[in-house]
Amino acid sequence: MSDGLPVGEGRPGATSAVVVGAGLAGLTAATGLAAHGIEVTVLEARDRVGGRTHGLRVGPDAWVDAGAAYLGDRHTELLALISELGLKTTPTTMQGASRFALGAEQATRDGRFPPLNAVALGDLFELLDELATAVRPEAPWLTPDAARLDTLTAADWADQHLTHPDARLFFPLFLGEMMAADPAEVSVLHLAFYLRSGGGLRYLNAFEGGAQQDRIAGGAHQACDLLADRLGSRVRLGEPVLTVHQDQDGVTVGTPGGEYRADLAVLALPPLLADAVDHRPALPVRRATGRTARGCAVKVNLVYPAPLWRDHGLSGWSVNAEGPLLSTVDDSPAEGGVGVLTGFVTGAEAHRYAALTPAEQRSAAVGQAARLFPMLPEPIGFRLTDWVNEQYSRGCYAALLGPGDWSALGPTLTTPHHRVHWAGTETSTEYFGLMEGAIRSGHRVVAEILARR
Q: Where in the chain is the domain with CATH 1.10.405.10?
A: 114-205
Question: How many C-beta atoms surround the C-beta of residue 282 within 10 A?
Answer: 9
| Structure confidence at residue 7 (pLDDT) | 38
| Structure confidence at residue 170 (pLDDT) | 97
CATH architecture classification, 114-205: Orthogonal Bundle (1.10)
pLDDT at 195 over 70: yes
Question: What is the spatial distance between Cα 403 and Cα 387, in angstroms, rounded to a whole number?
Answer: 22
Q: Where in the chain is the domain with CATH 3.50.50.60?
A: 16-50+221-291+406-451
Q: Where in the chain is the domain with CATH 3.90.660.10?
A: 55-72+90-96+209-218+296-386
What mean pLDDT comes out for the span 369-381? 96
- pLDDT averaged over every residue in the chain: 95
Alpha-helical segments (H) within 336-420:
348-354, 358-372, 405-409
Alpha-helical segments (H) within 264-403:
271-276, 348-354, 358-372
pLDDT digits (tens, 9 = 90+) for 129-176: 999 999 999 999 999 999 999 999 999 999 999 999 999 999 999 999
Reduce the DSSP state of residue 20 to 3 states and report it. Answer: strand
The dihedral through the CA atoms of 232, 63, 400, 122 has a sign that is positive
Question: What is the spatial distance between Cα 185 and Cα 142, in angstroms, rounded to a whole number?
Answer: 21
What's the one-letter identity of residue 150? D
pLDDT digits (tens, 9 = 90+) for 308-319: 999 999 999 999
pLDDT at 377 over 70: yes
pLDDT digits (tens, 9 = 90+) for 292-303: 999 999 999 999
Pairing of strands 106-110, 97-101: antiparallel
| Structure confidence at residue 9 (pLDDT) | 40
Q: CATH number for 55-72+90-96+209-218+296-386: choose from 3.90.660.10, 3.20.20.70, 3.30.379.10, 3.40.50.1370.
A: 3.90.660.10
Domain 16-50+221-291+406-451 class?
alpha beta
In 3D space, the residue among 406, 450, 407 whose CA is nearest the CA of residue 426 turns out to be 406
The dihedral formed by the CA atoms of 301, 303, 306 and 308, expressed in degrees to the nearest 10: -70
pLDDT at 1 over 50: no
pLDDT at 371 over 60: yes
Alpha carbon of 61 to those of 2, 66, 142, 334: distances in Å?
58, 16, 49, 11
- Nearest-5° angle of CA 105, CA 111, CA 113? 60
pLDDT digits (tens, 9 = 90+) for 18-51: 999 999 999 999 999 999 999 999 999 999 999 9
Alpha-helical segments (H) within 277-357:
348-354
DSSP annotation of 52: T
| Structure confidence at residue 12 (pLDDT) | 52
| Structure confidence at residue 111 (pLDDT) | 87
Question: What is the spatial distance between Cα 377 and Cα 325, in angstroms, rounded to a whole number?
Answer: 18
Alpha-helical segments (H) within 182-234:
188-197, 201-205, 221-231
| Structure confidence at residue 3 (pLDDT) | 52
What mean pLDDT comes out for the span 347-372? 97
Report percent pLDDT > 70 for the chain.
Answer: 97
Question: For residue 285, which phi and psi values (nearest 5 degrees)?
Answer: -135, 130
Distance of CA 60 to the CA centre of its chain: 28
| Structure confidence at residue 6 (pLDDT) | 43
What mean pLDDT comes out for the span 222-226? 98
Question: What is the spatial distance between Cα 41 and Cα 16, in angstroms, rounded to a whole number?
Answer: 8
